[in-house]
Chain A
Amino acid sequence: MKKSLILIVFSLIILLGGCINSKSDNDKQSAVATTNLSVEVSLNEAISIAYQNAVNWDKKAQLYRGTSVDNDEGITGGDGKRRYWDILFGIPDTNKIFLVQIQDAEIKKAIDITSEDDTPIPKNYFIDNSEIKFDTPELLKKAKEITELYPGDDWAKGYNFRIAKDIDKSVILIDVIGWNKKRDEMKGLQFNANTGELYKNIEGSG
């Protein structure tokens, strides 16, 4: 009898937890994972994790953009990896957008955030994954060789990273973001994701 009671109580607790974790908004939410492990991943690893979910959403899904999210309590990103990422996918020439949020190497949330009012996003805004030849750990290392780049300690903590396409020049760019030594000015270096070459060094011009 006691064992049955324990089983029922535990089942209720697990069920209740599931309900609470899956609440949020009216958007379609296709995946929620739970873990308490702290795992940092590089940009390409985050894209790779997210991509599987995106093609399940729509097999024509392509990478639109991605960024690290500054949710960490402490300084992070020193090895080019972060715990939190927002990766956006879409379907070229449509208004379909899919957000995949990565936390600790797992998909925390995957949501169709399409707005039917949106102008279709042209094909040239999208990124072909096979053209990304460089990743954030090596680009951060490169950035530090080019300039003195320090991790943020207040906001935009540690080093942050972003990938997007420069549509004017059709170049996939990976941004490596840090701070100057005094931590009063951000510094950003943009690299060509295909060649690894420095595209633009943004510092001290504000």
Chain B
Amino acid sequence: MKKVFFAISIILLNIVLFAGPTMAATTHYNQDVTAYVGKREGHGGMLFPNEQYETVAIHQKSSSDRNPIYKFGTTLRTHSALNLPGYGTKSVFTITDTGDLFGIHSRYWFDVYFGTDTTTNRKNANTFGTNNNIPVTYTVYN
């Protein structure tokens, strides 16, 4: 009887431990951050509409697995607000793009969409973030 009771308790404990909600928050420290410009309609096979200073791209899981390392639509928040020319400062972004297929940047790098390819936006993008030696710490609400 005791053995049965013990076994049931262990099973129930496992259910509680491993069947709970999977949503969590994950923080990544001192990651590369860059900016990009391009069509609002996205690029290549990624035609999801980009939004200036809202859309961010992250790495794919691997060069052969085009799933992003965090799910499409996930919200992230930087621990220090990013300076976005013409807008001000902002911390909350949405992951709806992927990039850096060759993995040049740190694993949890992200890329902020700076708008269409104008001289001003391109200049702003080129002087942003890691290009200016500013790493970023952020939390992903996955």
Q: Mark A31-63, 1 if CB is under 8 A from B, else 0.
A: 010101000000000000000000000000000
Q: How far is the CB of B63 from chain A (nearest CB, A)?
A: 14
Q: Which residue of A lies closest to B49 (CB)?
A: A188
Q: Which residue of A lies closest to B26 (CB)?
A: A25
**Are B48 and A188 interface neighbours, CB within 8 A?**
yes
**Are A155 and B68 interface neighbours, CB within 8 A?**
yes
Q: How far is the CB of A123 from chain B (nearest CB, A)?
A: 15
**Are B23 and A108 interface neighbours, CB within 8 A?**
yes
Kindly specify which of A127-135, A137-145, A179-187 makes contact with the partner chain. A179-187
**Residues of B at under 8 Å CB distance from A?**
5, 9, 12-13, 16-17, 19-25, 27, 39, 41-49, 51, 54, 66-68, 71-75, 77-78, 80-81, 87-92, 94, 96, 139, 141
**Are B39 and A99 interface neighbours, CB within 8 A?**
no
A160 to B92, CA, bound (A): 20
Contacts of A108 in B (CB 8 A): 21, 23
Contacts of B46 in A (CB 8 A): 186, 206
Q: Mark A118-132, 1 if CB is under 8 A from B, else 0.
A: 110000000000000
**Are A206 and B141 interface neighbours, CB within 8 A?**
no
Main secondary structure of the interface of A (DSSP, over half): mixed
Q: How far is the CB of B27 from chain A (nearest CB, A)?
A: 7
Known: A25-B27, A97-B92. A186 touches B47 (CB 8 A): yes
When A and B form their complex, what is the total count of cross-chain residue pairs whose Cβ atoms lie within 8 Å? 143
- Name the one of A111, A154, A185 contacting B141, with C-beta atoms under 8 angstroms: A111
Q: Which residue of B lies closest to A120 (CB)?
A: B88
Contacts of A68 in B (CB 8 A): 73
Interface size in chain A (residues, C-beta < 8 A): 56
6 contacts between A and B (CB under 8 A): A17-B16, A99-B75, A113-B77, A113-B91, A117-B89, A185-B45
Q: How far is the CB of A194 from chain B (nearest CB, A)?
A: 18
Q: Which residue of A lies closest to B72 (CB)?
A: A70
Which A residues, 90 to 107, have Cβ-Cβ distances below 8 Å to chain B? Answer: 97, 99, 101, 103
Which A residues, 139 to 162, have Cβ-Cβ distances below 8 Å to chain B? Answer: 154-156, 160, 162
Q: Which residue of A lies closest to B12 (CB)?
A: A13
Q: Which residue of B lies closest to A32 (CB)?
A: B21
- Name the one of A32, A109, A118, A184 contacting B45, with C-beta atoms under 8 angstroms: A184
